[in-house]
Amino acid sequence: MFKIATKAIALMLVGGMLSSCTNEAGQANKQQLVGLAGAIGGGVIGSNVGKGKGRTAGIIGGTIIGGLIGSEVGKSLDKADIAYHNRAQQQAFEYNKAGASSTWKNPDTGASGAITPTKTFEKNGNYCREYTQNISVGGKAEKAYGTACRQPDGSWEIQ
């Protein structure tokens, strides 16, 4: 029961944070969106640390650190950068063997990155891929880890 309540609270918080990631014109705030993605990724990574109170501390710490790193990267990513990134990410998840990277670069901003699937597995009847990604924006490089699972419609969703 605790696990279900924790997931429900997390989903409500994510929904609330996502709704606050737009400005008055309805445009996405890239710093907040990428910060949120970093927080989620950091929380997932932190959830694999320890047991009991140690796991809780890992989740909290991972969420905070991931959010801060993601927010810094998001300050600089523009819509075109995100489009290049998303295209390369979908390519990597769908077609790349483990260890093979899909890269992207926005020639207008110089932002670039690489997404590398590291492991493929099945979860609840869906194919999932663990991956690493490197993003370089304005001379700052960041590295992140995550998991994405193929949805019934064929798209890939970050877990």
pLDDT in tens, 1-37: 444 444 444 444 444 444 444 444 444 445 555 555 6
Question: 48-87, pLDDT tens digit by residue?
Answer: 655 666 666 666 666 666 665 665 555 556 788 888 999 9
| CA–CA dist 35, 61 (Å, integer) | 14
Q: How many CA atoms lie within 13 A of 22 on its CB side?
A: 8
| CA–CA dist 113, 24 (Å, integer) | 30
Has this prediction a pTM greater than 0.85?
no
